[in-house]
Amino acid sequence: MGLLTRENYQKGFLIDEELMGGVSTTGAAHLAFVLRHTTGEYLGTREFDDLDAALATINGVERPWKFESSSECGGGACTEGACGTGSCKKVLARLNQDCCEA
């Protein structure tokens, strides 16, 4: 089972066959989120002042999560890493984000 940590939360997200979870940080706020990656529908979001609380909330969601790195997506690295072969490319494409577009 994958977990988000202080070291990896900005480099990817947790994913399974149906859902994606992560933590996004803007300034001092940390937004924990879970969404259905097949539709882009947000199922839940919660803002925290404390990063550890946000990470604990996502890690507490009982799913068969796997950590999926997004650090190789886009930016010309489209034939390498998760973006070129794995679910990262599929998830980001579903969310209409730039992944492997010329």
Q: What is the pLDDT of residues 15-68, one digit of tens each?
A: 999 999 999 998 899 999 999 988 889 999 999 999 999 999 999 999 999 998
Residue 93's pLDDT band (cuts 50, 70, 90): low
At a CB cut-off of 8 Å and minimum separation 6, what does 34 contact? 19, 20, 21, 42, 43, 44, 45, 58, 61
Residue 71's pLDDT band (cuts 50, 70, 90): low
Cross-strand pairs, 19: 36
CB atoms near residue 47 (< 10 Å): 12
pLDDT at 90: 53
pLDDT at 66: 92
How confident is the model over 80-90, as a mean pLDDT? 49
In the chain, CATH 3.30.67 sits at 1-69
Distance, in Å, from the CA atom of 35 to the CA atom of 45, rounded to the nearest integer, reads 9
pLDDT of 89 > 60? The answer is no
User: Could you tell me how far CA 79 lies from the centroid of its own chain?
Assistant: 20
Tokens of 9: 């939360």
Distance, in Å, from the CA atom of 51 to the CA atom of 44, rounded to the nearest integer, reads 17
CATH code assigned to 1-69 = 3.30.67
44, 33 Cβ separation under 8 angstroms: yes
